């Protein structure tokens, strides 16, 4: 039975860790990565934050969304690495897009701690990361890109969100039909036609790229 790390983590850790909940309900992604995640959680319990930071950072690169949240929490708190609000926000936003509910609140707090001119470069970094994942054939990143345009930008871009949700719907991704249709309600008919053409073009390019990548294997 997996332990749940709540606001207090452990009684001893509560004395020094700020009141951010640690996520440990990560989805299974293979026994090896699960074991590494559990080891990272154990490092936190042991207050070995250097090891925890390195472990969560490695797992974050594998799109372990709970690990990304925990990494953001360490960076916010300044344990295992000097405080870095910008890097913390980057990982918090990625974790939020990955579906970790607590990451949104952490991201909102970090936004308040940073100057406005620091936010757009972080948003661009998040988008670049999502684009790399899409180009690599990561289907989950398609929905994340749609969510990005509604939830991460300072002002929602319903048009771009619609494009990616429409692509997700064409690929039968979970939640894509509903997201596409709800987003379309915010768009004018003429605009919708242009966006559908844009989605179709990107979809064709993605299929061509996937076929080329398949031939190279």
Q: Are the beta carbons of 199 and 163 closer than 8 angstroms?
A: yes
| Angle at 50 (CA atoms; ends 66, 110), nearest 5 degrees | 50
Q: Which residue has the tokens 């293979």?
A: 30
Question: Distance of alpha carbon 82 from its chain centroid, rounded?
Answer: 22
pLDDT, residue 23, reads: 59
Binned at pLDDT 50, 70 and 90, residue 34 comes out as confident
- Does the pLDDT at position 12 exceed 70? no
Alpha-carbon gap, residue 48 to 42, rounded angstroms:
9
Alpha-carbon gap, residue 214 to 204, rounded angstroms:
15
State the pTM of this model.
Answer: 0.86
Q: What is the largest CA-CA distance in the chain?
A: 60
pLDDT in tens, 74-125: 999 999 999 999 999 999 999 999 999 999 999 999 999 999 999 999 999 9
Alpha-carbon gap, residue 142 to 98, rounded angstroms:
11
Alpha-carbon gap, residue 9 to 17, rounded angstroms:
8
pLDDT, residue 28, reads: 47
Domain ranges of the chain: 13-85, 118-216
Which tokens hold the place of 166? 């429409």
Which tokens hold the place of 12? 């001893």
- Does the pLDDT at position 1 exceed 90? no
Which tokens hold the place of 168? 């997700």
Which among 37, 21, 18 is positioned nearest to 29, based on CA atoms? 37
pLDDT in tens, 150-177: 999 999 999 999 999 999 999 999 999 9
């Amino acid at each position: 039975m997996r332990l749940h790390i709540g606001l207090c983590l452990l009684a001893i850790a509560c004395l020094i860790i700020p009141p951010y909940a640690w996520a440990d309900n990560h989805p299974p992604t293979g026994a090896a990565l699960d074991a590494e995640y559990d080891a990272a959680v154990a490092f936190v319990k042991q207050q070995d934050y250097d090891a925890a930071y390195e472990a969560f950072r490695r797992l974050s690169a594998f799109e372990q969304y709970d690990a990304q949240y925990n990494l953001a929490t360490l960076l916010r708190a300044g344990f295992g690495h000097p405080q870095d609000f910008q890097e913390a926000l980057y990982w918090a936003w990625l974790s939020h897009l990955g579906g970790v509910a607590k990451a949104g609140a952490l991201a909102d707090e970090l936004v308040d701690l940073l100057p406005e001119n620091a936010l757009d470069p972080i948003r661009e970094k998040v988008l670049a990361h999502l684009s790399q994942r899409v180009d690599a054939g990561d289907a989950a990143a398609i929905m994340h890109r749609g969510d990005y345009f509604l939830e991460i930008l300072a002002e929602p871009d319903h048009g771009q969100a619609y494009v990616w949700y429409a692509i997700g719907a064409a690929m039968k991704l979970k939640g894509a039909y509903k997201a596409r249709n709800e987003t379309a309600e915010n768009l004018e008919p003429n605009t919708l036609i242009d966006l559908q053409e844009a989605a179709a073009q990107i979809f064709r390019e993605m299929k061509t790229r996937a076929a080329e990548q398949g031939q190279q294997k």
